[in-house]
Amino acid sequence: MSSTLTTCLWFDDQGEEAAEFYCSLVPDSEVGNVSRNGDAGPGPVGSAMTVEFTLDGRPYVALNGGPEHHFTEAISFQISCADQAEVDRYWDALVADGGSEGSCGWLEDRYGLSWQIVPRALPELLGDPDRERADRAMKAMLSMGKLDVAALRAAADG
């Protein structure tokens, strides 16, 4: 038997907007089926109830379920970035228009969803067999909001 595990993200009423925004940022992503409310509700007629979409080829559903539930940092999306330009692109887009910067590469987008924008260099630096080098990189990371690859490398190098 085959099944597909799909993450459902609960939004107040911005699920379609969020799905379109996320798909515009992440390669290999697209909005699929949108189920709209009819006369029976629960939302206004014609408004999106559920939005199927993929991010980087992975399935998600956005549910416009109302204001009862909110995202927390306990769940986040993590994007592994090839370089600083990619870190900057994701970071700037996700904090724009009401998002907020966090620490250590974390942010919250305008919909309240948490993201970790992580350069691929970070796990390499933190996993360096030279523990002093790794510790210097960790200390630098803990002082940052958006992660800076050059500064992380410089800190590791002492």
Domain ranges in the chain are 1-69, 71-158
pLDDT at residue 60, rounded to an integer: 97
Would the pLDDT of 92 be above 80? yes
Instruction: State the pLDDT confidence band at 137, using cuts at 50, 70 and 90.
Output: very high
What CA–CA distance (Å, rounded) separates 121 from 141? 12
Residue 116's H or E segment, with its range, is strand 114-119
Strands 106-108 and 58-64: unpaired
Mean pLDDT, residues 143-152 = 98
The CATH architecture that domain 1-69 belongs to is: 2-Layer Sandwich (3.30)
The neighbouring-strand residues paired with 118 are: 80
21-80 tens-digit pLDDT: 999 999 999 999 999 999 998 889 999 999 999 999 999 999 999 999 999 999 999 999
Dihedral angle computed from the Cα positions of residues 70, 75, 80 and 83, in that order, rounded to the nearest 10 degrees:
50
Would the pLDDT of 2 be above 60? no
pLDDT at residue 4, rounded to an integer: 82
Mean pLDDT, residues 83-97 = 98
Residue 133's H or E segment, with its range, is helix 131-142
pLDDT at residue 145, rounded to an integer: 98
- DSSP for 37-102, written as a single string: -BTTBSSSTTSEEEEEEEETTEEEEEEE--TT----TTSEEEEEESSHHHHHHHHHHHHGGG-EE-
The CATH architecture that domain 71-158 belongs to is: Roll (3.10)
Residue 117's H or E segment, with its range, is strand 114-119
- The alpha carbon of residue 127 and the mean position of all alpha carbons in its chain are separated, in whole angstroms, by 23
Q: Smallest Cα–Cα separation from 117: which of 139, 140, 95?
A: 95
Check residue 127 and report its DSSP letter. Answer: T
pLDDT at residue 3, rounded to an integer: 62
* % of the chain residues with pLDDT over 70: 98
